[in-house]
Amino acid sequence: MKKPIVLVVMDGIGKGKGDRGDAVKLAHTPTLDMLLNSCPHTFLKAHGTAVGLPSDADMGNSEVGHNALGCGQIYSQGAKLVDECIKSGDLYKSQVWQDIVSNSVSHDSALHFIGLLSDGNVHSNYNHLKALIIKAKESGVKRVRIHVLLDGRDVPPTSATGYVDDLEKLLAELNGDGFDAQIASGGGRMKVTMDRYQANWDMVRLGWETHVLGEGRQFSSANEAIRTYRDELNVIDQDLPPFVIAKDGRPVGTINDGDSVVLFNFRGDRAIEISMAFEDADFNKFDRKRVPNVIYAGMLEYDGDLKIPKRYLVSPPNIRNTLSELLIEHGIKQYAVSETQKYGHMTYFWNGNRLQKFSENLEVFHEVPSDKVPFDERPWMKSAEITDKVIEAINSGEYGFIRCNYPNGDMVGHTGNLDATILAVGAVDLGISRILNAVKERDALLIITADHGNADDMIEIGKSGEVQVKTAHSLNPVPFIIYDRTTEYKIKSGNFGLANVAPTIARLLGLDVPKVWEESMI
* β 41-44/143-150 pair status: unpaired
| Positive/negative CA dihedral, 93, 99, 104, 106 | positive
Range list of H helices, 72-125: 78-88, 90-93, 95-106
Half-sphere exposure for 94 (CA within 13 Å, toward CB):
20
Contact predicate 354/393, CB 8 Å: no
Residue 6 CA to residue 8 CA, distance in Å, equals: 7
Question: Which H or E run includes 53?
Answer: none
Active site (annotated) includes residue 221:
no
188 forms bridges with which residues in the sheet? 150
Residue 228 CA to residue 250 CA, distance in Å, equals: 19
Residue 458 CA to residue 424 CA, distance in Å, equals: 13
Question: Which H or E run includes 429?
Answer: helix 418-442
Q: How many CB atoms lie within 10 A of CB 385?
A: 15
Q: Helix, strand, or coil here: 79?
A: helix
Dihedral angle, C-alpha 438, 442, 444, 449, nearest 10 °: 0
* Nearest alpha carbon to residue 379 among 347, 410, 336, 402: 410
Q: Helix, strand, or coil here: 363?
A: strand
Residues 6 or more apart whose CB falls under 8 angstroms from that of 243 comprise 185, 186, 187, 210, 216, 217, 218, 219, 222, 225, 229
* β 110-116/143-150 pair status: parallel
Contact predicate 351/326, CB 8 Å: no
Residue 261 CA to residue 113 CA, distance in Å, equals: 6
DSSP secondary structure code for residue 462 in this structure? -
Residue among 62, 94, 159, 383 flagged as catalytic: 62
Range list of H helices, 271-414: 272-279, 323-329, 340-344, 383-396, 408-411
Q: Helix, strand, or coil here: 110?
A: strand
Q: Helix, strand, or coil here: 181?
A: strand
Catalytic positions:
62
